[in-house]
A and B are shown apart, each in its own frame.
Chain A
Amino acid sequence: MAIQAWRIKDRYYRLIGSRCQECRTEFFPPVYTCRHCGSEIIKDQEMPKEGKIMTYTRLHEPLPGFEAQAPFYLAVVMLDNGARVLTQVVDSPDESVKTGARVRATVRRAKVDGDSGQIIYGYKFIVIS
């Protein structure tokens, strides 16, 4: 897990996704083939850091490594460029986590790697309105 996360740390820290060089559609996570036009000419692109919640859930039965955080919010966020991110929503009052709420990306501790104890960081989102 630690090496797998290290390899794509820029994606986790700075939301580096993809931009199709032909139709200009942007994606997060990155893609190999444009989902919109099928082009394979894809370059890395930093995503905008704000968007809105399309749908959300509050998870009560977490995966191993996430027990201390449960229950926590997960949401599908549509970024302002149209790319979609599956993310935790943190540091936000319960009543603010709603469909349509505006959110902003931040970096937080994601999980502690089971084998090495290494702390892995990644994006989470906060409700801003």
Chain B
Amino acid sequence: MIIIKNLTISYNKYQRVIDNLNLSLDENLIHGIVGLNGAGKTTLLNTLYGLKKPVAGTIQFDNKEINKNSVAYLVTENFFYSSITGKEYLSLFKNNEFDIDRWNKLFNLPLNKIIDGYSTGMKKKLALLGVLKQDKPLMILDEPFNGLDIETCRIIRMILLRLKERNKTIIVTSHIIETLTNLCDFIHYLEAGKIKFSRDKSGFLEFEREVFDKIENENIELINELI
């Protein structure tokens, strides 16, 4: 189980991006985190992985403080080191059992070409292969479907569902709710630095309606004025 207790994250002393957040995530399931732009999704994930220090609070995984040894993290931006090939990038991750060429049959990446020439989608696929190669019990995926075509989105969904069966815990964010309702066991709605509500599969429809209604109600007047 992942237990987040009283987590507060801030970039300066005046503004808290995550404010006293409490959340429990069951293991071997896929958890989606949804929120509008600026809600704090990436900051939360960076902190879960250890790229951002919290001001207060604790994060535990398997009754121990969360540790990079047990986490693979797909960052939202496609940053790679310039002038190395896809194969050279993947060779940096330790896992001799991972057959790069067989896995690449799913993604068809030109692994012997340098990454600088890859498209956005190709870079995302390569980063995903890197995460899969790490084979960690907890996978944190920040916007894994960004920039990908329908086929690859479906393939990734199949992979993630299979990984869940193999006892992996997956945390995934997306700004497209449908990609999460098709995939996740739980969805947690992050707003203004707090988890406003969590829903299991039976509540996804209601969740979608709630989120869309909220957005529409907040903006309808202004849109009416403008158009």
Partners in one complex: no
